Amino acid sequence: MTTRAAQPRPEGVNWSVLLQRFGLALVYAALAVGLSLLSDRFLTVSNQVNIFRQATINGIVAVGMTLVILTAGIDLSVGSILALSAVITADLLKQGLPVPLGILLALGIGALMGMVNGLMITRGNIPPFIATLGMLTVGRGLTLMYTQGKPFTGLPDAFRFIGTASLGPVPMPIVVAVIVFVLAAIVLNRTRFGEYVYLIGDNPVAARLAGVNTRQMIVLVYMISGVCAALAGLILIARLDSAQPVIGAGYEFNAIAAVVVGGTSFSGGEGGLLGTLLGTILIETLNNGLNLLNVSPLWEQVVKGVVIALALLFYKAINPTRK
């Protein structure tokens, strides 16, 4: 016997790796087949486009959330960031602010609020959960104060195109979401910043000792999350033609759900955007299916919670070393 211990055995398929890689796609396929058998409306083009359009808002928020969770953080304030940036922008657009400036303003507010999150975490040494929980409350409070509890409706048409226009057959929100996903995937997989995000999530102490400016990177990550939330808010108000004071409430939950179902680990450094994309679509398909099957909306929450729990159990089962 001269086999070296470190050599992989040639025979045998590594099922856990396969499952991990394609498990989510398989679940999605099973769900799609099931729904198309149960409802003849499910597999129509208009319904599928509808699913994707519904998924765009959460998908964009979930892109930022993916980066945050990869650094072993969490951003609970995305819903409030979305709300505050949306109402301020809606108000100023109504007062005649040029559309490009309005968009920049919204994204700027998102970046600023994200930066405050990041600074509280890195300079104040406040755990991300607490820091962003604070921002959730503050952001919502400011939104209510700004709106005095009343919605802003009737936005300029020049602005509403990002929610309602189409590029050929593809609705604008989907175009924007695809661009966001592709850009983020390139950044995460091809750039120094992307590498650092994974390294910081894996081991922040080692990252600092390897010369990574961990504080700066983490602030940047929360800023990106804020910008994503603000962008999602723009699309949302453009579609609804209205910015409600309670807009975006609970969106952090949907985004976290998409990321977690997509296989990104809460302990950081493991996962990615492809999973988040699938997770977002899976959750939206599930919502859509429950709708088509006339299941009470009250059940949606329950089903979503169960799905997340099942996803975590599944990842734990195929990879027991995972935290």
Partner 1 sequence: MTPSRLQLEHIVKSFPGVLAVQDVSLEAYPGEILALAGENGAGKSTLMNILSGSFPADSGKIWLDGVEVNITSPRRAQELGIAMIHQELALIPQMTVAQNIFLGREPRLAAGLLVDTKKMVIQAQALIDQLGLDFPVTALISDLSIAQRQMVEIAKAISFQSRVIILDEPTSALSERESDILFALMRSLREQGVTLIYISHRMEEIFNLSDRVAVMRDGQLVGVTPTKDLTIQTVVQMMVGRELKDFFPKKQAEIGDVILDARELRSGKRVRDVSFSLRRGEIVGLAGLVGSGRTEVARILFGADPLDHGEIKLAGRIVHLHSPEEAIRLGIGLVTEDRKAQGLFLGQSVRSNASVLLFEKLAQLGFILYSKVDAWMRGAVTQLTIRTPNLEQKVRNLSGGNQQKVIIARWLAVNPQVLILDEPTRGIDVASKAEIHTLMSELAAKGMAILMISSELPEILGVSDRILVMREGRLMAEFSRAEASQDRIMQAATGQLAAG
Residues contributing to the site for partner 1 (CB under 8 A): 1, 3-9, 14, 16-17, 190-193, 195-196, 198-199, 202-203, 205-213, 269-270
Nearer to partner 1, 202 or 300 (CB): 202
In whole angstroms, what is the distance from residue 57 CA to residue 2 CA? Answer: 57
Query: What is the smallest separation between the CB atom of 323 and partner 1, expressed in angstroms?
Result: 10
In whole angstroms, what is the distance from residue 97 CA to residue 95 CA? Answer: 6
- Three-state DSSP at 22 gives helix
In whole angstroms, what is the distance from residue 126 CA to residue 151 CA? Answer: 34
CA 238 from centroid of its chain's CA atoms: 19
Which tokens belong to 83?
Answer: 């709300």
Query: What is the smallest separation between the CB atom of 67 and partner 1, expressed in angstroms?
Result: 15
Nearer to partner 1, 15 or 168 (CB): 15
Query: What is the smallest separation between the CB atom of 112 and partner 1, expressed in angstroms?
Result: 23
In whole angstroms, what is the distance from residue 64 CA to residue 59 CA? Answer: 9
Task: Give how far Cα 73 sits from Cα of 138, 204, 220, Å.
Answer: 19, 11, 13
Nearer to partner 1, 173 or 269 (CB): 269
DSSP classification of residue 44: S
Q: How many CA atoms lie within 13 A of 312 on its CB side?
A: 14
Nearer to partner 1, 50 or 203 (CB): 203
DSSP classification of residue 268: S
Nearer to partner 1, 15 or 169 (CB): 15
Query: What is the smallest separation between the CB atom of 207 and partner 1, expressed in angstroms?
Result: 8
Which tokens belong to 234?
Answer: 């723009």
Nearer to partner 1, 17 or 295 (CB): 17
Q: What is the largest CA-CA distance in the chain?
A: 82
Q: What are phi and psi of 71, to 5 degrees?
A: -85, 15
Query: What is the smallest separation between the CB atom of 205 and partner 1, expressed in angstroms?
Result: 5
Query: What is the smallest separation between the CB atom of 223 and partner 1, expressed in angstroms?
Result: 16
